[in-house]
Structure 1
Amino acid sequence: MKIVFFVRDLGLGGVERCVALVSEGLIARGCEVSIVMLGGNRNLWAARTGSAKVIDLSETWQGKKPWTWLAGWRAARQQIKDADILIAATFLMPLYMAYAVSRGLKTRVIGWVHGPLFELDQFATMNPIHRKACQYIYRRLNELVFVSEHARDSLARWLKQPIGDGWQVLPNFVDEEQPKVYPDKPASHTLQLLFVGRIAVEKQPHLWLETLECLNKKGIHAKLTVVGDGPLEDWLKNTSKARQLDKQISFAGHQSNVGDYLNAADVLLLTSSFEGCPLVVLEAMPLGLVVASTNAGGVYELFGKRRSEFVVETASGEALAELIAKQRRPELSIWLKQRAKHYSSEQILQQWMTLCLAPPTINLKSVDTENTEL
């Protein structure tokens, strides 16, 4: 079976990581996989995409140069003419090109939706032309794959239509190539908090400062390590200093492997406004790292019936500090290690294979995040 993914490029974003890991898994199961880069030539996942055919069309077709469109369309169509499945790995450029080049062909087209587009559009206010174009195409694709039920329900709200028969939920999975065995952490009287991701508005970094202040008021000494960078980094440094919290925050910058930081932490802080299926939580689970999160959509599905032990309903530092203070971390750590088995690569990749091999619009049974013994 030949499967083609359309991506912008293979940078370090969550979507790109998902493409690399799913491609790697499908190849291991006998599929022939091509990854077509439409908007850039970066491949920062070369170690995980070595068996895939990576094709750079970013010079052939450029969205802002109309005189390249026909050549780009022809080059992209050439890549899928004998493909069984074409997967648009995200919206905008990959979605547009997948729809355009598949017209008149028998190639099966699947749209992959990683985030809650209704909330994303509310937050970022999508360009009206792009909004109409994406909605037009999503309404005409018979098959869509979502990383969470929340992302699926969000798209239905955004399109103002019921959930389609060909809409499947296949969550992200635990990357089992990441190191899993670490030495025991030394005992410490300081609670080690960790944030991993972009320092940006949608991650609500003001909640990090509020959480530290509320923990201080409770007499809980805590330090926060921020792994990542972003547009609000200077604001965070200046504001933490002004609020006399700078001694409690350290900045590690962007890191390609966060396993050591996850292992050293006591609590993973997730304060997003919205999420699809956060990979960092799936990295934390097999290590038994307890999570304290805002109610950011798809994240709560990872915890099933125990969501209240990991997720606050009110996005405030006070609520997060209260949750952290009452979490029974040794017990929750054991539970998370067991819960991670529900998101094993073997289980999720088997569902991908079932989707690829089955007739279109088959209704797969996704991971049951609510009705589970755990």
Structure 2
Amino acid sequence: MTEESGVGGVQTTLHWLESGLAERGWQVTRLPVRQGRPSLWACWQAARRAQVLVASNNFRPAYAAVALAWLARRPSVVWVHGPLHEVLQQAGTSRLKIGWLRTVYQRASQLVCASQTSYDSLLRVMAGARCAAPQNLSVIRNPAVLPGAGQDDAAMPATEVMALGFVGRLSPEKQPLQLLPMLRLLPAACQLHVVGDGELMGAMRSAGQDLLAQGRLHLHGQQTVSAQTYRAWRATVLCSRYEGYPMTALESLACGVPCVSTPIPAMQEMLGTQAPLWLARDDSPAALAQAVQRCLAQAPAERQAAIDLLQQQHRLEAFVQAWDQVLTRLLQRRGKGLKQGPKQGPRQGHVAVQTDASRDDTSSGGRS
């Protein structure tokens, strides 16, 4: 069940999951539950044809997937991307709504979290409720992948300009305004390219007038992000208040470009062991500027070694294999067993993700 449309981190990971599962013999069908949603009868019929229902996020798609799975007597999987506890706190969610979410998650056959950070946050939400059994909770980290990332591009021409990049929504939780004082604290040779749009675009233009006039700040708006986008930068910068396991950072790493970030739990999880120098000591612009300078001053061989290890830890093949194992176990529980050779038809996996372009997945830069 899906609700994502356009661009965004959830949409990106969903694409990689669908294509990867298809290569492993799964037949994946998207069932939208918001825009273009079929009739309830058609949804129920689709659920009956499927062997397992997957919700692409833990809100509206989860409600639909769990309900349809119950009616059709099929297993359901809810994909938890962001740190739910922090998201609900930021939104001022009522106790009634939190109680409803707990009920939905308790009835899912499996909850898959995009990071240990998301897993821990989910447990905080479920505290005090009859939580799902531990075997029904798992972590499958997002992959570091981007089309063209593995190709060797021509070397960038020598230049004194040190280009930095930011990709994402210009929204309060992404804290893009923090980038402006950070940039002012960096050497004049540093320039910042912001790819994305959102409610804070006007504030970025207003607060960054001096940097725009100096040619140090470039606000590109929403545009397609490619390997070339990242490779034009010396580093990608994140300054979010919270994240689940950001695809912006993973895509940057896939392209061989380091990612500097505020020390939020998700980025500590991603970088803390292999690249601690890229983490700011706190969430202030000054600390972020210092982390950028540490990254830029790092020996190229040391920086590349960290990137190589991070790429290895976030392989697409491992991501797809982990999902395949989760879905196969659910089929085994139902007594359907594993696919036996080419004579048996493809496994039916209906990914039902509700699309809501106004919420979680609307990334102005192509990623959330």
**TM-score, structure 2 normalization:** 0.82
Q: Does 1:357 align with 2:352?
A: no
Q: Which has the higher contact order (CA 8 A, sep 6+)?
A: 2
1:342 alignment counterpart: 313
Match of 1:155 among 101, 122, 125: 122
Q: Does 1:287 align with 2:282?
A: no
Matched position secondary structure for 1:306: coil
The structure-2 alpha-carbon separation of the partners of 1:248 and 1:272, relative to structure 1 and needing over 3 Å to count, comes to: same
1:87–1:111 CA contact under 8 A, matched in 2: yes
1:15 alignment counterpart: 10
- How far 1:270 sits from its partner (Å)? 0.6
2:30 alignment counterpart: 35
2:165–2:235 CA contact under 8 A, matched in 1: yes
The structure-2 alpha-carbon separation of the partners of 1:212 and 1:83, relative to structure 1 and needing over 3 Å to count, comes to: same
Matches within 5 A, 1:162-177: 164-175=134-145, 177=147
Instruction: Identify unmatched segments of 5+ residues in structure 1.
Output: 1-5, 41-55, 61-71, 363-374
Matched to 1:311, the amino acid is L
The structure-2 alpha-carbon separation of the partners of 1:341 and 1:352, relative to structure 1 and needing over 3 Å to count, comes to: same
Matched to 1:249, the amino acid is L
2:346 alignment counterpart: none
Match of 1:208 among 171, 174, 179: 179
Query: CA RMSD for the aligned pairs?
Result: 2.2
CA–CA distance in structure 2, aligned partners of residues 344 and 230 of structure 1: 31
The structure-2 alpha-carbon separation of the partners of 1:271 and 1:245, relative to structure 1 and needing over 3 Å to count, comes to: farther
- How far 1:321 sits from its partner (Å)? 1.2
1:288–1:334 CA contact under 8 A, matched in 2: no
Matches within 5 A, 1:1-374: 6-40=1-35, 56-57=36-37, 60=38, 72-126=39-93, 129-160=96-127, 164-175=134-145, 177-180=147-150, 181-216=152-187, 221-241=189-209, 247-327=215-295, 328=298, 330=300, 331-359=302-330
Map Cα deviations across residues 138-184 of structure 1 (whole Å, 9 max, x no partner): 12324100110000000100121567321111111133533432111
CA–CA distance in structure 2, aligned partners of residues 150 and 126 of structure 1: 20
Instruction: Identify unmatched segments of 5+ residues in structure 2.
Output: 334-368
- How far 1:187 sits from its partner (Å)? 2.0
Map Cα deviations across residues 185-239 of structure 1 (whole Å, 9 max, x no partner): 12222221100111111111121011112214xxx53100001111111110111
Map Cα deviations across residues 104-148 of structure 1 (whole Å, 9 max, x no partner): 433111110010010111122235554332222112324100110
**TM-score, structure 1 normalization:** 0.81
CA–CA distance in structure 1, aligned partners of residues 243 and 331 of structure 2: 27
- How far 1:95 sits from its partner (Å)? 1.2
The structure-2 alpha-carbon separation of the partners of 1:286 and 1:98, relative to structure 1 and needing over 3 Å to count, comes to: closer
- How far 1:242 sits from its partner (Å)? 5.5
CA–CA distance in structure 2, aligned partners of residues 242 and 304 of structure 1: 35
Percent identical among aligned pairs is 25
1:88–1:112 CA contact under 8 A, matched in 2: yes
- How far 1:246 sits from its partner (Å)? 5.5
1:210–1:316 CA contact under 8 A, matched in 2: no
1:69 alignment counterpart: none
Bigger shift: residues 142-151 or 335-344: 335-344
1:45 alignment counterpart: none
